[in-house]
Amino acid sequence: MEWVNKLIFSPSIAQCVLVLAFTIFVGKLLAKIKIKGISLGITWILFVGIIISHFGIVPNETMISFIKDFGLILFVYSIGLQVGPGFFASLKKGGLKLNMMAVMIILLGCLTTYIIHLVSGENISTMVGIMSGAITNTPALGAAQQTLTDMGKDASVVPLGYAVAYPLGVIGIIFSPLIVKWIFRINVKKEEEEYLKQMEHGLIDEQQSQQTTQADNHSNLVSHRIVITKSELNGQRLGQLNLSQKYNITIKRIYRGGLELKPAANLCLQLGDRLTVLGNEENISKVASLLGNSMKRLDTPNILGIFLGIFLGIILGSIPIFFPGMPQPVKLGLAGGPLIVAILMARYGPYYKVVTFVTSSANMMIREIGIALFLAAVGLSAGAKFISTVVNGGYLWIIYGVIITLVPLLLVGIFARVRYKMSYYTIAGFIAGSTTDPPALAYVSNLTEADEPSVAYATVYPLTMFLRVLCAQIMILMFV
């Protein structure tokens, strides 16, 4: 059985792929484990990689480094495509207050991290890793590692801090809104009933409005969802098509990437846009034929736009940006560059006839593969030092992580309730969004029929994801 021993322990391409596949497989199996509805999710892959490398099964360093960086690029680029359409809209008046709360949480987290660094004497690289784990933000981990590598510094301590702080970070994020609820003795049932009643009245008003319109027009109007699937329409302005006048229909809403857009005449349409159209059956059929409305056309992934974006993202991430007072130039790196380009392409691509549409399932597949490769590679490269680090004082990192998790979330949650009288579920939603933590959103969403948590989460998520990556890099550049 010498060949088995050689396959597992001798560095080679086959061994690298074998170990990565096993790490991801076992990690995904463990991700299904839930305790009272709480799971560590895909981060189990990181812990499995740590355990495997602890026992001496470590792939070639160059190969594992490439896989880590490439996985990170795929992950952040797919996130950018997802949040791009709603990124700038979230900064407008409607979401400004919630985004202000999220920014406060991010800045307080950075300040808390720096204060612990000064008081404890723990090096800032470790503290940024702990902060990334405490807020359960993997792109921040990748950005910090990449920045340290570009500076020629040892980046192995960052994932160790992340791994130690992550488990209680998940729990702390879930418990923070519960603590706010306990402090203010919030009656969540009453708030939920009031919200649902408002939503019900809004729905009734809309239905009555539609019925009045139907009666006035003396015609049988119906509402249909039509998807733009003709590539030649990508980038055309809605007003150019003149649909309302030509076909006597009304465009009620346009949905893109989970965002509701106003059907303005100057809106540039994008492949995959979903239009809610009101009119009679015959005219709606004509509009559907004009726009495509064939989901089969969207099944073929457009990898041209994806790799163009990654190409431009790498270039952008490599440009040195000089700031006064900083010893090193700032680089957006392999995390920041592709993320920004993806956001810009998703938002402005249609204006330049660039097809950036990716189906939700395709985007999720790219993201899952990217994050799985990244976490497996990080665990396999850092695991050899994990046990010894924790035993030799690393257990204090757990305490630091809990502080970094709870202090900003509780302070801002209390402020939001006192200053703006925000509802409990809105507070819970923006807390989950400000830490980009899906398990926290899933937990609170299961407690209510209202969509308040999801709305608040989606409002702050785009800006939060961008700032988390940027702040991790800035802290490394300023204080290492």
Per-residue tens of pLDDT for the chain, all 480 residues: 677 777 777 778 888 899 999 999 999 999 888 776 667 778 788 889 888 888 888 888 888 889 988 998 898 888 788 767 666 666 665 578 889 999 999 999 999 999 999 999 999 999 999 999 899 888 888 888 888 887 888 888 888 888 888 888 888 898 899 899 999 998 888 887 877 676 555 444 444 444 444 445 545 778 888 888 887 787 778 888 888 888 888 888 887 755 566 787 777 787 778 888 888 888 889 988 898 887 666 666 678 888 999 999 999 888 887 777 666 677 777 877 888 888 888 777 767 767 777 777 777 888 889 888 988 988 888 777 777 777 777 789 999 999 999 999 999 999 999 999 888 988 998 998 899 887 777 777 777 777 678 778 877 877 888 888 889 988 988 887
- In sequence order, the β-bridge partners of residue 228 are 292
Domain assignment of residue 330, yes or no: yes
CB atoms within 10 A of CB 238: 22
- Closest by CA to 155, choosing from 377, 461, 468, is 377
Are residues 455 and 470 in contact, defined by beta-carbon separation less than 8 angstroms? no
Give the CA-trace dihedral at 207, 208, 211, 216, to 10 degrees: -140
Q: Residue 239 carries which side chain, given as an amino acid letter?
A: G
Domain assignment of residue 27, yes or no: yes
Which two three-digit tokens encode residue 97? Answer: 């207050």
Instruction: Give Cβ neighbours of residue 150 (< 8 Å, ≥ 6 apart).
Output: 331, 333
Q: Residue 2 carries which side chain, given as an amino acid letter?
A: E
- In sequence order, the β-bridge partners of residue 227 are 274
Q: List phi, psi (to 5°) of 121.
A: 80, 5
Number of domains forming the structure of the chain? 1
Domain assignment of residue 296, yes or no: no
Which two three-digit tokens encode residue 436? Answer: 């980009």
Domain assignment of residue 26, yes or no: yes
Domain assignment of residue 442, yes or no: yes
Are residues 90 and 459 in contact, defined by beta-carbon separation less than 8 angstroms? yes
- Closest by CA to 98, choosing from 444, 434, 414, 442, is 434
Domain assignment of residue 272, yes or no: no
E-assigned strand segments in 127-234: 222-227
CA 220 to chain centroid, in Å, comes to 43
Domain assignment of residue 112, yes or no: yes
- What pTM was estimated for this model as a whole? 0.71
Q: DSSP letters of 187-207?
A: -HHHHHHHHHHHHHHHHHHHH
Domain assignment of residue 399, yes or no: yes
Domain with 88, as residue range(s), is: 2-189+302-479
Report the distance separating Cα 256 and Cα 356, nearest Å.
12
